[in-house]
Structure 1
Amino acid sequence: MTPSVYVLEYHLVNYRRTWRASVFSSLVLPMLTMLGFGLGVGGFVTGGVEGVSYLEWMVPGLIASTAAQVAVGEATWPVMSCFTWVKTYFAQAAAPLRTTDILGGHVAFMLFRVLVSTAAFLLVALCFGALRSGWAVAVLPISLLLGVALAPLVAAYTASVTSDMYLAVLLRFAVLPMSLFSGVFFPIESLPTVLRWVAWALPLSHGVDLSRAAVLGLDPGSGAVWQVLYLLAWGVCGWFLASWRYRRRLVI
């Protein structure tokens, strides 16, 4: 096995002891969200959205948003803990591991968490009858792609700050607005022109668009290729930034 796989194994062994704590967020919260927004708010959207019910239209956005939030969540406080509190990274760096091995193994675990959370949400959506197409399973690789776009970049940010206060700032002023204005709860086309361009610059909006096409069985068109490449570009930039910041923190 490669060194990164051993780092991934370390995180998986820890998760085996703590996975029960994530059951609530993985299953119960999606169910409450769909009851509250999909059926509650959706009951007032009598005409539906873009030819489908509000619940069916919103579910793919919620799945993509969940994937983004899990990726950000795993790349903030757990990374801060590995640097500052438990100092796991420094123990791993003392072994014959490179910074890219440490980063790669942890990012792989972040993507595993994204995949598990997305699969759980997909199962809940299936129980609600909110999946219109068999292509809905494509949200799993789409969510992984969204995780690739966000997790390394957020890990780079976490490696650059010294207090978890800055993580709360990130969630309040970056993650929350991104979740609100990326087409999860209403079409991006309803935004003013300036905000519309801002929304399309955010990676989540492209993950929502790809997920919606998959869940609703729509033809994503040739633009889907550019959206995939755009998310990959975010991931590549995030990886190089994270590698640089990890090296600065771990290599003396």
Structure 2
Amino acid sequence: MAATAAVLAGCGNSPDSGQAPAAEGGVQLVAEGKLTTCTHLPYEPFQFNEGGTIVGFDVEIVDLVATKLGVTQEIIDTPFEGIQSGEDLNIGKCDVAAAAMTINEVRQQNFDFSEPYFDATQALLVRADAGITSAEQLAGKRVGVQNSTTGQEWAQSNLPNSELVVYEDLGLLTTAAQTSQVDAAINDNGPLLDFAKKNPEMAVTAEFDTDEQYGIGVRKGNTAMLQAVNEALTAARSDGTYDRIYEKWFGKAPGA
């Protein structure tokens, strides 16, 4: 895997500045020798800080792209709104956006997505003794959601009689559910199942089939980068690398 560096914030070159030489395959990068990734922390197990290093499933997937380009990955932690709006890509803050991000029509208007690399759905996280196992039981309850996510959108559409409390990141959301600041939390199943596994007083008691798939974002029209990402994903699925990374972070093979 390519070595991964983490930075707290940053601004890259503008997409047309030409300040950084092209990587292998003629892919233009915002910083020489680096594939700069915008993400939003924490979102365990996809991307999170462990001992001062950013690790996770998404990190290792993008490392495959960096290796293909002959560079190392550098990660920028930035607000999710700037990622999903496409602004971070448009101003050259990063080359790609990888933040466990669901492919949808609104985001596709803002930037281009890679081929899907992960299947997801929405889930319900509650304290294990809460007795809440369905969306219907959330009427009149305080339900936590993460800002600008598909979980927030799902809750707005499906929980008209609940009080939605919006949090800026996953860590704040799960802590709110754990400490009973809210009665329940709605978010993608991957991180909520991971949180419940590590915190036995919590449980995921329902999943809502939303047929979501994650994709890696690139600036609109950046066809060379999009091709490099897709080729890396295809190769990883073909040679078993994808399955090994998946099992490392989720404890089971894809589809199991």
Question: Normalization by structure 2: what TM-score?
Answer: 0.24
Q: Larger relative contact order (C-alpha < 8 A, sep ≥ 6)? A: 1
Q: Which has the higher strand share?
A: 2
Question: Normalization by structure 1: what TM-score?
Answer: 0.25
